[in-house]
Amino acid sequence: MSISKKINQILLILLICFMFYKAYIMILTYDEAYTYLNYSYTKDFVNLTLANNHFLNSLLIYFASLISEDVIFIRLPNIIFGIFYLFLSYKISMISKYSVTTFVLFCSSPVLIDFFVHARGYGISTALNLLAIYLYFYLDKKELAFLALMFSSLSFPICLIVLFSFFPIYLMEKYKENQLKISLIIVLIFSILSLPIILWTIIVTQVNLPLYGLDELNLKYLFTSFFGFLNLYKSTNVIVGSLLFIIFILSIVKLFRNNTNNIWTVNLTILFLLFVIPFLLSKPYPTGRLLVPFWPLFLFQFSTFLNSFDKNVIKLLSPIPILLALNFYNLQSFNESLTWSSSTKGIDRYDITNNFCSIELIKYVSEYYENFYKPDCS
């Protein structure tokens, strides 16, 4: 067994242990409690009153809660998809020329990994998007990749952007193979299947309630935060953001010249749609957690770019995975959500769990912020 393989396996085991431990120890956040109480617990899976409902996530939480209403089971669907994401990252890394660098690249975002211990839809979509990459570019199962993206959209509807961003390269590839007619039919079928999700998205974004995101954009923010993705590392840095943007452009040029794969075309389409659609509809621009499911596609582009260099160049870049790992270590927290840390302030998990049964704990967390009542659970 190679040293790289051993390192990746150790990192894989550590990350799985970390996810299970954090899912157990971290107090339930408001959004998780709201999700369970309003969608899963009530079986109101197709509630269209808020964009807060992630259908597939709400449905899977319901099935998990049939086993137990303990917090760890409420989070179990996302933990399972988190493990799946890690295993896919491991498989992709072991195919890559520089396996440790690739694995660290895919798994070093503190916020991304954090979402695999939250009972929300972002983690599920993230894992399914990586599955789509694996199916499309490694197994050449393009139609199955589209199916994975459909399920990803059921957990987080904005991920339909990813599905539609794959269509142009799919049609171009099939045109070269003289299979344009059948490919057009397949694209049409998936487009029709997407209509209910599109309709759902239109309805929930038209409700007269605030949507999460940025109300205004400027070029400085886009470049210094690399289109908002640097928020997944809990910091926005002018130097890092600019460097990441330069690497992104260089990777497009190199992948285009080498004709390695067309992921850069997909990602450019994603960026275009992510920011043009909100502009046209006068809606908030995506940032932070809304970008989590899209990050694996850009990580795949960066990893393909890095793996195209020889070992001498990679030696110069060897500090990158170390810095990413240190950043992960410094920013992660075992007992607090990185995204909703303020929503758990003032709540002591141990005091609560000693005095409340599971469903009442969930109610208490939800209503703690709304000051309704403190439930009595005997």
- Whether 65 shows a pLDDT value over 60: the answer reads yes
Percent of the chain at pLDDT exceeding 90: 39
Confidence (pLDDT) at 145: 97
More confident residue, 263 or 367: 263
Q: Which two tokens stand for residue 106?
A: 């895919």
Helix (H, G, I), strand (E, B) or coil at 149: helix
* Average pLDDT score over residue span 171-183: 91
On average, the pLDDT of the chain sits at 83
pLDDT per position as a tens digit, 128-137: 999 999 999 9
- How much is the pLDDT for 220? 74
Domain ranges for the chain: 3-345
- Determine the average pLDDT of the residues in 80-106: 93
Q: 325-367 pLDDT, tens per residue?
A: 888 888 887 778 887 765 555 455 444 444 444 566 566 655 6
Q: b/e map of 174-199 (b: 16 or more CB within 10 Å)?
A: beeeeeeeebeebbeebeeebeebee
Phi-psi label, residue 12: left if phi above 0, alpha if psi -120 to 50, beta otherwise: alpha
